[in-house]
Structure 1
Amino acid sequence: MPKTKTQGIIFGLIMSYAMAYGMEVYNIAIKMGFNLSAGGFSNMTDIVFWEAFKEALYMGVFVFLFSNLWGNRLGARFMARHCNPETDNPYFCQLMRQAGTVAVMCPTMSMVASILFNLILGGAPIVQLPAIWVGTFLKNFPMAFFWNMFAAAPFTHWLFGKLFPNNH
């Protein structure tokens, strides 16, 4: 885990971009017709990964900004409410922090995506924003939760450990 402010920023950037890229792959695949329940693997093409990369470049900035403004703090509060670092397993506490952060960041980033992709770029009327936001949040929450737990966080910890081997 980060021990200095610089390490914290690097850790945050890795995590932000790992989350942004995974969520962009998911959303672009859906937009391009990927549908797992209908045997949609045939619709998954390499272009999904390139388009996701392009969108993740700027969406990662939003993730980093909002996670530092409130996502990480509220995730830490969630953890403090549901685990005791003195007596509970450290891995359980880490999972509680991740879950709390996802519970805050997913609705936040769903709002960002709703405004950016549906209102600004898509031309949807602003009165539709609440419905678009709820739909976006409901679609993204399961993926955000499991992507964070099983891909983005482990990858971030692994890469951070490679960059700063004395911290783990």
Structure 2
Amino acid sequence: MPKTKKQGIIFGLIMSYAMAYGMEVYNTAIKDGFSLRLGGFSTMTNHVFLQALLEALYMGVFVFIISNLWGNRFGANFAQKVVDPQKDNPYFCRLMRQVGTVAIMCPSMSMVASILFNVILAHQAIYNLPAIWVGTVLKNFPMAFFWNMFAAAPFTHWLFEKIYPN
């Protein structure tokens, strides 16, 4: 875990871009027609990974800014209310912080994405924003939760420990 301000920034950047890329792969695939169907998956093509990388380059900046403004703080406050670091397993404490952070970051980033991709780029009427935002949160929350728990956070911790060994 980060011990200095510089390490905190590096950790935050790795996590921000790991989350942004995973969510962009997911949303690009859905936009391109990938879905679960009864009896199997529809086809996903390799261009999804490049398109997601291009979008993650700028979406990662939004993730980093929002997580530093309020996402991490609310995640830490949530964890503080439900765990006792003196008694609880450190891994459980870390998971509860992740849960709290995802619970704030997913609606926040869904609002950014709704405004950027639907209102600004797709020219949908601004009065549709509440419905677009709720639909985006409902679509993204399960993926954000599981991507964070099982991919982005483990990858971030692994890479951070490679950069800053104990």
Q: TM-score, normalised by structure 2?
A: 0.98
Q: Secondary structure at the match of 1:13?
A: helix
CA distance in 1, matches of 2:37, 2:24: 20
Large movers: runs of 4+ above 2 Å: 37-41
| 2: CA distance, partners of 1:70 / 1:83 | 20
- Could you say which residue in structure 2 is the equivalent of 1:5? 5
Residues 26-85 of structure 1: per-residue CA shift (max 9 Å, x gap): 0000000001225334x2111000000000000000000000000000000000010011
Structure 1 gap ranges (5+): none
In 1: Cα distance, 2:4 partner to 2:46 partner: 38
* Residue pair 1:79, 1:93 contacting (<8 A) in 2 also: yes
1:40 equivalent in alignment to 2:46 = no
Instruction: Provide the secondary structure at the position in 2 that maps to 1:165.
Output: coil
How far off is 1:96 after superposition? 0.2
Residues 13-24 of structure 1 correspond to what in structure 2 (within 5 A)? 13-24=13-24
Does 2:113 correspond to 1:113?
yes
- Greater helix proportion: 1
* Structure 2: distance between partners of 1:69 and 1:101: 12
**Residue identity in the other structure for 2:51:** E
Contact 1:33/1:40, CA 8 A, preserved across alignment: no
Cα pair 1:24 1:52 within 8 Å, conserved: yes
Uncovered stretches (5+) of structure 2, i.e. residues with no partner: none
Distance 2:123 2:131 in 1: 15
**Equivalent position of 2:147 in the other structure:** 147
Identity %: 75
Q: What corresponds to 2:68 in structure 1?
A: 68
**CA distance, structure 2, for counterparts of residue 82 and residue 102 of structure 1:** 15
Deviation at 1:140, TM superposition (A): 0.1
| Number of residue pairs matched by the alignment | 165
Tell me the TM-score normalized by structure 1: 0.97
Give deviations 1:110-139, integer Å, cap 9, x for gaps.
000000000000010000000000000000
What's the secondary structure of 1:123's corresponding residue? coil
Output the amino acid matched with 2:41: G
